[in-house]
Structure 1
Amino acid sequence: MFYVHKSVMATILLLIVVVSPAFSATTMLEDINVRADRQVPTEESLTIREVMESPARDLGEALESIPGLNSVNKGAIANDIVLRGLQGDDINVFLDGVRLYGGCPSRMDPPSFHFDFAEVEQIKVIKGPYDLENPGSMGGMVNAITKQPQPGPAANLSLTLGSFSLLDSSATASMASETGDLLGGYAYKSSHSPMDGDGKRQLEVYAPGTPHSYIIDLDSDAYKIHTAWIKGGYNFQSNVRSELGYSYQDAENVLYPYLFMDAEYDRTHRVNWTLKADKLDAAVDAVDFQLYWNQVEHLMHDKFRTSSTNPMVAVNNKTYSMQTDSSTSVYGAKAKGDWLIGSGKLTTGIDYYYRNWDATNEALFGTYVPQPMLPDIDVNNFGAFAEYSQPLAHSFKLKGGTRIDYTIAEANALTQARLDSLYVTNVSGSNLKNKNDFTNASGNIQLAWQVIPELELFSGIGLGTRTPDPQELYIGLNRGSMGPSWLGNPNLGSTLNRQIDFGAKITGENFFLNASAFYSALQDYITLTEDIVVSTGNSAKTYQNVDATLWGGELSSQLALPMDFYLRGSLAYVRGENKDKNQPLAETPPLNGSVSVRWDNDSYFAEVTERFAAGQDRVDSDLQEQTTAGWAVTDVKAGANWENWSLAAGVNNIFNIYYFTHLSYQRDPFASGVKVPEVGAFAYATLSYNF
């Protein structure tokens, strides 16, 4: 059945390319024009309008509509972003350029978890090492951009209701004048655990009575999240503006069935200040300054699982068999200037960020002795960058630049005695230290050629780097007889990505096609491994540098048809190889894509979408990674816009297909090893009012 679906979709995608010149529609969807006019093959964008038409609960789920982006499903919410097979610290995720980190060592709360859609107007994505303004964008960058107040008073009220008691509500209000503006909002969302295509809750992936099965009511909330924010701006002059914003988020009892534990709370504070001056003189196009701070407090445990009912738990006067209390904080600064030099523009800047990450674990590994799981780790990063763009002749545009970073990482609470007794005896290596420094250089050259008005070609060569993150360097969890320990590797080196990209963008009066291909050679790529130290016989899950390759590409197209119909299609493929072991790279998504037909006359719309993925049999056998079967599901939605009101409603997976995405399974010490099925038939409706 899946292969029939796949053949039909491939035929439709081919028809998009072949027959598009034959149609001449007069009405175009706004995003066709945006993608045709502003984007290059390595860049994508997603507007909040597109998000509001979907039942996406978080950024990771919403970005799956962009070719080349996937997500890791851990439960009802908090999907982690995967870009061309890279995830975690291999890519950067920002909000208004602010660097965010989660508190959980198992990435329960990825950076995109810590803000609400109601704050956001647009999400921009850069694929590949072409972001020089921020350290660590080795594989790409995702930046969510918050809403700006419109002139005069304005407000937005939004309510989404859906299956499994889904509730997503928000209210935003603003006031703006020539002098200044103020914007504030509040959002609340909650849901029960979703059901899969077999009619079971995601919480039921474990057999009753087994250690990780749930002992709570299966109709309990899978999450409850409150978010509030306020932002004010002042215009000193028509070309000089300053903004100051603050946000607080409180997430309660977030359930993660694919992990051993769940989060009791995540409490997040965010502060961001910017100052921008435009058109200061003939040579200075813009000057920007930014200061920011954010903090996350995270507590996770197994109180909701059968494992917490072990008789020894009560003997030790505890309510859990394992618990981790962690916190992380970041503050940073950036100064940037745009200088007009000849017919081109030079962008230069300096930046700095400080990150602290600390986590203490208690578990029934014989006794409840607290362990410095993340031993009060400090990271200081100092960076500088320069980038120049220059039109060449009439149809060429050249852009290139470089960046250098110096990073110091230090585990303040990691003693030499613990290094010698735990890390050295469980991780291959010697002369381990609790402090490391790294110097990394990156850069790229990009060339765009407007061959004819309807055809633009793109090529890019990039060198991207990223330092090992604090967890990869210094995490330490001695699990005793309960299984392999989980240890960082202080001898890790920085990852270097040498990447080449090619792309083409074809546009017409009623048509847009974006095609791209890439090849990445990853030197010292950081991957998880289970290692046995020959001298001791001890086993530990740890991290190692390997050489790897990733290659693939994306195709997306939109076509305006007669009578207000529109056809869309996308395909994405990535193939990863661990060159050191001559085997597939772990956690690589398979071929996937979508085809949709939409009718839209600006007042009303209806759409049918087929989403699909091929099976993935290229797995890392050393990590016991499992193969995944292919699947195809159908989504339908419709909506209307009446003056200040808008309504969107639909059903995802309307045929209630039971399936798994390949990235629903992860191997870290707190992962259960059980695949989490995707959501079955899911109905939703969103009503919004703007004034």
Structure 2
Amino acid sequence: MTTFYAGLLSPCALACAVALALTGTAHADDNADKNTHTLTPVVVTATMQDSPLIVVTDPKQPRQPVPASDGADFLKSIPGFSTIRKGGSNGDPLLRGMSGSRLNILVDGGMIAGGCPSRMDPPTAYIAPQLYDRVTLIKGPETVLYGPGNSAGVVLFDRNFERYTQPTLSGDASLLFGSAGRSDQNLDLRAGDSTGYIGISTNHTHSQDYKDGDGNRVHSQYDRWNADATIGWTPSDQTRIELTVGKGNGDAAYAFSRMDGVQFLRESTALKWTQEHLTTHWEKLEVQAYTNYADHVMDNYTLRTPDPASMMPMAMAADVDRRTSGGRATGTWRWGDALELQAGVDGSVSVHTHRAGGPPGSMMGYYKDQPRMRDARMQDIGIFAETRWSFAQSQRLVTGVRVDRVQTRGYTLEDMAGMEHMESMSGVDAMAMMPAQTAADRGDTLPSGFVRYESDLSRSPTTFYAGMGHVERFPDYWELFGQHVEGTLDSFRALQPERTTQWDIGMQYHGDRVKAWVSAYAGVVNDFILMHYPMTSMGVDYASNVQARIAGGEAGANYDFTSHWKADVTVSYAWGENLTENRPLPQMPPFEARWGLTYEATQWSIGALWRLATAQHRVADDEGNIVGQDLGPSAGFGVFSFNGAYRIDRRFTLSAGIDNLFNKTYAEHVNAAAASLAGYVNTTRVNEPGRTLWIKLDAKL
């Protein structure tokens, strides 16, 4: 298997494979009907909400700005999302200003979690969005089907496999080239008949350091590859058994850290069984088991040279890994069109280890020769039920309830008992009293639930909805054991689960020429987990619970002026208040608006995107989340981008664009602090790329 992946995913081999696929596509198209009506080519600049609190988008479509190599940069094109930039890749996504385990990320129904204590490898770092068929966002605590603690929302990256009725070969391929040496190759091939199917999806992406609008180089190069293979057995229309295996790896330079990510090894396996139409009312049974393994290496010598004047003058490396295994069983029952029930059980267990050292021959020893030390084990098992009841014509009540049992064990906690008298001891006695490491367990039972009313207004194509949800979230790995917490036995026991109660209200309008939506929320968070970053030399980072309020929303509209001219606009805003300390919640993005204008002909289109973000003065210095902290007020900015697309024939589409057309120098408010790196210009925040040109060729078999 290792040989297979290595041969398949070398950049040259993958480029050749994509080229062959494109050639085969062109040959197949020679016999196509030249008069076949072609679809209008469009570059996505604004993703709209499809139904109450749900956004569904196709990650294979061209979009502007051009996404980077991972899931986070893809998600920031959805209103309400922002990304904490760390370099050219592997940013951390936030939805409505909330990050980490408040936003659950599922890949083909399974959870994957990174291992870096400072979040160099968030879950989205292991996701190549172009290899999936559908990305679904469910906002807020308005579903109980997808794991515990999802106070901000849930994101689902899914592939679509169905039973073929006849022998079929299909596929997608794309090539992308852009500024800063950007080069992507993507290939997704599928084949099957009524008995079963196979699928192979693979990608490679590469970029050199980009430059900001002032021409300053940002430490941001990356190189990544992914490959997944799927085999399915479909003996009947009612039965499907599917096995998926995958692997990926790469590296990424970081402008925010004294280390770079030099390995992002992912190994995934999942087995699914789906049985449909079991009885009159029992419509479907879905059973899944998975394991996702992430092995992440950080060092300061592979992608940079150690700086003798820095706090890390020697060549150093750290290796962390995390294996997450789990499963779920879900049943779906229907009683006509009036009532639908989904109920089941899910669970996961995650073990984290670490080791450190240096390159071969270093004084600290080669890091790969060091034993792995287990520091944390986290597990959860939950039961859930969600119903959709159409109690009257055009009126529905959607409800859900969930209960989770969460348990966590820390293996390397510092026991500070007796340490309060250290300052009165001599140096020798104080060294003898250094805190001992100990293991400890804690657990809790956490309920969640929601209720939402939906109504389709009879005299207009409008849907109104209002709901309330409550979710309780156990502290995650980074809040209990991460780089920015104390890591003591007392802090491990003291940090309480976070409890969010949120109200959501909104409206959808789908007319012939106008489509519009609005989604607003307000909530209270008891025991909000806040990260503290004291700026004094003697300060210690720590986590605490505070009382908080949150509010905000998103809105958007599409308007067809004529059959050719179309316009769209989206806006988003997030607000948070720390009631305990009487100051704003940190890491809240400012108000943002996007305006798009597109001219669409039968075979070509041109479009423009204008993105505006206001200044943000509501900050909480020295406080933040598990990724970063507030760095003071930020200025507003506006960025203009331009794109065009041409459908060569019914299989080929060529798109191109210029992001940040006027080469503006700017940085997002929600950001990581830039590190002082030798050979680079030091900035407070990591600046965004300057003018970026790109061209992409998409093909369908």
- Structure 1 residues 362, 310: closer, same or farther in 2, change over 3 A? farther
Q: Secondary structure at the match of 1:662?
A: coil
Trace 1:24-173 onto structure 2 (pairs within 5 A).
Answer: 39-51=50-62, 54-57=65-68, 58-133=70-145, 134-148=147-161, 152-173=168-189
What does residue 474 of structure 2 align with?
Answer: 467
Structure 1: tracts of 5 or more residues without a match:
1-26, 204-220, 426-430
Work out whether residues 475 and 488 of structure 1, in 8 Å CA contact, stay in contact via their aligned partners in 2: no
Taking the aligned partners of 1:379 and 1:255, their CA distance within structure 2 comes to: 30
Distance change >3 Å, CA 635–CA 387, structure 1 → 2:
same
Q: 2:86 aligns to what SS in structure 1?
A: coil
User: Which deviates the most, 336-345 or 175-184?
Assistant: 336-345
Letter of the structure 1 residue corresponding to residue 635 of structure 2: A
Superposition deviation, residue 665 in structure 1: 2.5
Would the alpha carbon gap of residues 628 and 234 (structure 1) be closer, same or farther in structure 2, given more than 3 Å must change? same
Number of the residue aligned with 1:334: 328
Bigger mean CA offset, 538-547 vs 605-614: 538-547
SS at match of 1:562: coil
Superimposed CA distance per residue, residues 506-551 of structure 1 (whole angstroms, 9 cap, x where no aligned partner): 1211211010110021111111114699xxx963101111111110
Contact 1:277 1:288 in 2 (8 A): yes
Q: 5 Å matches for 1:660-671?
A: 660-665=667-672
- Which amino acid in 2 is paired with 1:241? R
How far residue 374 of structure 1 moved from its aligned partner, in angstroms, is: 8.4
Q: 2: CA distance between counterparts of 1:126 and 1:374? A: 37
The equivalent of 2:347 in structure 1 is 352
Which residue in the other structure is 1:381 paired with? 380
Kept in 1: contact 2:415–2:488 (CA 8 A): no
Instruction: Write the mapping of 1:459-608 to structure 2, written as runs, cut at 5 A.
Output: 459-475=466-482, 489-530=492-533, 539-608=539-608
Q: CA deviation at 1:645?
A: 0.9
Structure 1 position 281 matched with structure 2 position 287: no
Q: CA deviation at 1:105?
A: 1.6
Q: Is the 8 A contact 2:456 2:463 kept in 1?
A: yes
Report what 1:210 is aligned to: none
The one-letter code matched in structure 2 to 1:107 is R
Q: Could you tell me which residue of structure 2 aligns to residue 646 of structure 1?
A: 653
Structure 1 Cα separation of the partners of residues 445 and 40 of structure 2 = 49
* 1:208-267 alpha-carbon deviations (Å, 9 max, x no partner): xxxxxxxxxxxxx81111211101111121111111101100113x10101221111111
TM-score relative to the length of structure 2: 0.82
C-alpha contact 2:255 2:674 (8 A) present in aligned 1 = no
Query: What is the CA-CA distance between 1:372 and the residue it aligns to?
Result: 11
Work out whether residues 139 and 497 of structure 1, in 8 Å CA contact, stay in contact via their aligned partners in 2. Answer: no
Q: 2:311 & 2:499 partners in 1: Cα distance?
A: 47
Q: Which of the numbers 684, 687, 695 marks the counterpart of 1:677? A: 687
Q: How much has 1:476 moved relative to structure 2? A: 6.4
Secondary structure at 1:113's aligned position in 2?
Answer: helix
1:118 counterpart SS class: helix
Which of 311, 319, 328 is the matching residue for 2:315?
319
Shift in Å at residue 155 of structure 1?
2.7
State the Cα distance separating 1:31 from its structure 2 match. Answer: 12
Residue 40 of structure 1 deviates from its aligned partner by: 2.5
Please name the residue that 2:454 is paired with.
448
The residue that corresponds to 1:264 in the other structure is 262
**Inter-CA distance 31–319: structure 2 relative to 1 (3 Å threshold):** closer
Tell me how far apart the structure 1 counterparts of residues 489 and 697 of structure 2 sit (CA, whole Å). 47
Q: What is the CA-CA distance between 1:412 and the residue it aligns to?
A: 2.6
> What is the identity, as a one-letter code, of the residue corresponding to 2:203?
A
Partners of 2:455 and 2:121 in 1: how far apart? 41
- Deviation of the 1:121 alpha carbon: 1.1
Structure 1 residues 528 and 313: CA distance shift in structure 2, 3 A: closer
- Measured in 2, the distance between the counterparts of 1:669 and 1:198 equals 18
The 1:669–1:563 alpha-carbon spacing in structure 2 relative to 1, beyond 3 Å, is same
Pick closer, same or farther for the CA change 1:603–1:29 going to 2, 3 Å. closer
Q: Which amino acid aligns with 2:128?
A: D
In structure 2, the residue matched to 1:687 is 697
Whole-Å separation in 2 of the counterparts to 1:476 and 1:652: 35
Q: Cα 1:478–1:498, aligned 2, differ >3 Å: closer, same or farther? A: closer
Compared with structure 1, are the counterparts of its residues 357 and 605 closer, same or farther at alpha carbon in structure 2 (3 Å cutoff)? same
- Summarize the alignment of residues 296-307 of structure 1 with structure 2, pairs less than 5 Å apart: 296-303=294-301, 304-305=303-304, 307=306
Query: 1:469 deviation in Å?
Result: 0.8
The letter of the residue matching 2:447 is A
Specify the alignment match of 1:190 in structure 2. Answer: 206
Structure-1 separation of matches of 2:181 and 2:312: 34
- Cα distance in 1, alignment partners of residues 103 and 523 from structure 2: 14
SS for the counterpart of 1:598 is strand
1:174 aligns with 2:177: no
Name the SS of the counterpart of 2:521 in structure 1: strand
Judge conservation of contact 1:474–1:488 (CA < 8 Å) in 2.
Answer: no
For 2:672, the aligned partner's letter is: Y
* Matching residue within 434, 444, 448 for 2:440: 434
Who is 1:24 aligned against?
Answer: none
Q: Secondary structure at the match of 1:576?
A: strand
* Aligned match of 2:25: none
- Tell me by how many angstroms 1:115 deviates: 2.2
Q: CA deviation at 1:319?
A: 2.3
Q: Which residue of 2 is the match for residue 626 of structure 1?
A: 632
Partner of 2:27: none
What residue in structure 1 maps to residue 626 of structure 2?
none
Paired residue secondary structure (1:540): coil
RMSD between aligned residues? 3.5
- Find the aligned partners of 1:659 and 1:311 in 2 and give their Cα distance: 27
2:271 is the alignment partner of 1:294:
no
Residues 637 and 619 (structure 1 numbering): CA distance in 2 closer, same or farther, change over 3 Å? same
Distance, in Å, in 2 between the alignment partners of 1:374 and 1:138 is 32
Percent identical: 23
Secondary structure (helix, strand or coil) at the match of 1:490 reads helix
Q: How far 1:401 moved relative to its partner?
A: 1.3
Shift of 1:59: 2.1
| Cα distance, 1:463 vs structure 2 | 0.3
Conserved in 2, the CA contact under 8 Å of 1:411 and 1:434?
yes
Match of 2:643 among 625, 637, 644: 637
- Mark the CA change 1:557 to 1:476 in structure 2 (over 3 Å): closer, same or farther: closer
Given the superposition, is the C-alpha separation of residues 56 and 311 from structure 1 closer, same or farther in structure 2, using an over 3 Å criterion?
Answer: closer
In the superposition, relative to structure 1, how do residues 374 and 591 fare at CA in structure 2: closer, same or farther (>3 Å)? farther
- Quote the Cα distance in structure 1 between the aligned partners of 2:440 and 2:371: 13
Aligned partners of 1:487 and 1:675: how far apart in 2?
A: 34
Count of equivalent residues: 625
Q: Distance in 1 between matches of 2:294 and 2:409?
A: 20
1:78-112 CA-partner distances (Å, limit 9, x unpaired): 12111011011111011112111112122112111
TM-score by length of 1: 0.84
Q: What is the CA deviation profile of residues 110-139 of structure 1, one whole-angstrom value per residue up to 9, with x for unaligned ones?
A: 111212133111110011001201212121
CA contact (8 A) 1:485 1:540 kept: no
Q: Does the 8 A contact of 1:61 with 1:71 survive in 2?
A: yes
- Measured at CA, do residues 188 and 399 of structure 1 come closer, stay the same or move farther in structure 2, by a change above 3 Å? same
- Residue 382 (structure 1) shift: 0.9
Contact preservation (8 Å) 1:129, 1:464: yes
Shift of 1:202: 1.3
Q: C-alpha offsets along residues 663-683 of structure 1, whole Å, 9 cap, x if unaligned?
A: 12359999x993111111000
Give the match for residue 10 of structure 1.
none
